[in-house]
Structure 1
């Protein structure tokens, strides 16, 4: 099960945060800060999986860096790391398709669109769909409607 999806920039500023577990904002901010520090402290030749994290017991951190953004998933022990990396790639490809070369500014100015994309992929911490064509078909109207304005 997925516990959180976090997108932060290389300075550690959270741009998109979705927790699938109820907790206080202070706790969320603390988790985001610590996860970010763990991810950036990894060497370029290190694995993108962190299994021995002390931040959140019995959970794995799986992340990828794309340009100036870290896309981070916090998952339980039952999730497959490679499947989560594939899901991160699906999310990035759909964001690219949606924004024509997504950048950090798109996340800042259109967070509701990113959350819509996430809801097409994950609901309540469970993966719903990873088919890029289907996801795009379901959210295309939202993106096209805003372009007409």
Structure 2
């Protein structure tokens, strides 16, 4: 099971955090800081798996991460998850973000946090992996975007119908 998903930049600033187990805000911040310290000091040419920090489960949990440009994508998982499967899931998440934001960058995660969480929820819900097929995820996101556009246009169309007038 996935315990947490963290995304932070090269300076340790959190850009996305999703915990699937309750931690108070102070402990969440400590976990993010500890995780950043563990992951950021590793060379880029070493294994992308390491033992979880003391605050998030220690030896019972693993941190599986990928470093892309200025962002670290870190999944904290228990021993029941496959390390390679989670690495693949991180890749699917990043590629999906790339497709949705046309070359995702740190600012996309900051200014479109609701869309990023929606994408993440298509992949993982309640700490369990739901979908790994990027085509299926993109289809769901496009469907959601169509619904949002329809809902945004609904009041104007409804008003046109009720008043029988042209709207500018």
TM-score, normalised to structure 2's length?
Answer: 0.83
Q: Any stretches of 5+ residues in structure 1 without a counterpart?
A: none
Distance 2:138 2:56 in 1: 33
- Give the match for residue 93 of structure 1: 95
Larger RCO: 1 or 2 (CA < 8 Å, sep 6+): 1
Q: Which has the larger displacement, 123-132 or 137-146?
A: 137-146
| Structure 2 unmatched runs, 5+ | 154-168
Q: Between Structure 1 and Structure 2, whose CA radius of gyration is higher?
A: 2
Question: 1 CA distance for matches of 2:99 and 2:122?
Answer: 15
Partner of 1:122 in structure 2? 124
Q: What residue is the counterpart of 1:80 in the other structure?
A: 82
Give the match for residue 136 of structure 1: 138
The CA distance in 2 between the partners of 1:42 and 1:54, in whole Å, is 17
Report the Cα distance in structure 2 between the residues aligned to 1:45 and 1:139, rounded to whole angstroms.
34
Counterpart secondary structure, 1:55: helix
Aligned to 1:16: 16
Give yes or no for contact 2:52–2:76 (8 Å, CA) kept in 1: no
Which runs of at least 4 in structure 1 moved beyond 3 Å after TM superposition?
141-146
Structure with the larger helix share: 2
- Residue 140 of structure 1, CA deviation: 1.5
CA deviations 1:77-96 (Å, max 9, x no partner) are: 11110000000000001000
| Corresponding residue for residue 55 of structure 1 | 55
Q: CA RMSD in A?
A: 1.7
TM-score (norm 1): 0.93
CA distance in 2, matches of 1:3, 1:131: 22
The count of residues paired between Structure 1 and Structure 2 equals 148
